[in-house]
Amino acid sequence: MISRRTTLLIADIICNEFTHRVYDSNSRRYTSRISEDLLRNFLFEFNIDGFTINKICKCYYNKSDLKKQILDMHTGYFYNKTEYNSFVSLGQKDIKGIAIGILYKKLQPESLNSLENLLRIDGYIYEKEKIYEINTDVDDKANIIKNQFYKFGFNNQEEFDTFYANMNEHFENSKWEDSIHNSRKLYEIVLKECAIYYSKNIAKDNIDLSNAKPVDIRLYLEKNNYFSEDESNIIQYYYKYLSNIGSHPKLALEEQADFSRVMSINTILYAINRLDKFK
């Protein structure tokens, strides 16, 4: 669920982007007004509910009124003042749509890193006009990873597909330790491919990493600032977790197998996307 803190930032970004100052001759002072047409087009483009668009795009709302409307989406009060609890899910849908639009359009660039960080804390990641829940959407993210294989010319595409299919098949058949084993293999394959690509095309140190052990791959990436020290530590302990749980069948439970699938795919996606930073 997108948190109140994240919604506050989203509201501020929208208010700063879609309001302008005008002189009110009655009060003899400047006030803020919504740029109604621009806001309407933005909300329409990113599939915001029609009721939401019509209610929020009122040219007589000032900046503080607009912010209140967005914050009320979070509680559901925006949609119904008496049965608002029933409309929280609609509010979440609209807030996610607005967040996608902000990130895609790069509105208020100085706030985008903060927004992505807050979304991660809430359990979401933005990728290609979608916000994915970190604990779900494994198949969607795997498809993104496969596209990145083609983009960077990685080897072992067939091996990745095989281990991915096995991971899911074993999970569905309650073979938890086997599913975890395949999660680990995916992890090893992709980190090695990232290291090989980085060595050949970015660092150009031409180090032979084709037969390197997982620990050597991790240390190479950390040494070359591919991952921060903290990120490298997370990878180290997660890999240790995969190895320990996967090698002790009696300890491998459904929740641990599911956690392994989710963590491996999310970490893999993060690792591959790091390559774009160095291009």
Amino acid at 96: K
**Of 102, 142, 153, nearest in space to 262 by CA:** 142
In sequence order, the β-bridge partners of residue 126 are 131
pLDDT at residue number 136: 58
Q: How do residues 209-253 score in pLDDT, each as one tens digit?
A: 989 998 899 899 989 989 888 888 888 888 888 878 756 555 567
pLDDT at residue number 196: 94
Q: Residue 133: helix, strand or coil by DSSP?
A: strand
Q: Residue 1: helix, strand or coil by DSSP?
A: coil
Q: Within 13 Å and on the Cβ side, how many CA atoms surround 170?
A: 24
Give the DSSP letter of residue 224.
T
Q: Residue 138 above 60 pLDDT?
A: yes
Q: Residue 142 above 90 pLDDT?
A: no
Q: Residue 85 above 70 pLDDT?
A: yes
Write out the E strands in 128-183: 130-133
pLDDT at residue number 243: 79
Neighbouring CB atoms inside 10 A of 121's CB total 11
State the Cα–Cα distance between residues 221 and 232, nearest whole angstrom.
Answer: 8
Q: How do residues 98-123 score in pLDDT, each as one tens digit?
A: 999 999 999 999 999 899 888 877 77
State the Cα–Cα distance between residues 7 and 118, nearest whole angstrom.
Answer: 10
Q: 17 vs 29, which has greater pLDDT?
A: 17
Least confident of 25-29, 145-149, 191-195: 25-29
pLDDT band at residue 200 using 50, 70 and 90 as cut-offs? very high
**Of 85, 91, 252, 92, nearest in space to 181 by CA:** 252
Query: Percentage of residues in the chain with pLDDT exceeding 90?
Result: 41
188-216: average pLDDT:
92
- Average pLDDT value for the chain: 87
158-166: average pLDDT:
91
Q: Residue 229: helix, strand or coil by DSSP?
A: helix
**Percentages helix, strand, coil for the chain, rounded to the nearest 5?**
70, 5, 25
pLDDT at residue number 177: 86
State the Cα–Cα distance between residues 22 and 228, nearest whole angstrom.
Answer: 47
- Residue extents of the structural domains in the chain: 4-133, 138-278
90-101: average pLDDT:
95
Token pair 């240790």: residue: 240
Token pair 């915001």: residue: 48
17-40: average pLDDT:
81
State the Cα–Cα distance between residues 135 and 127, nearest whole angstrom.
Answer: 15
pLDDT band at residue 128 using 50, 70 and 90 as cut-offs? confident
CATH of 138-278, one of 1.10.1760, 1.20.120, 1.10.1740, 1.10.10: 1.20.120
Q: How do residues 35-79 score in pLDDT, each as one tens digit?
A: 889 999 999 999 898 999 999 887 667 888 899 999 999 999 999
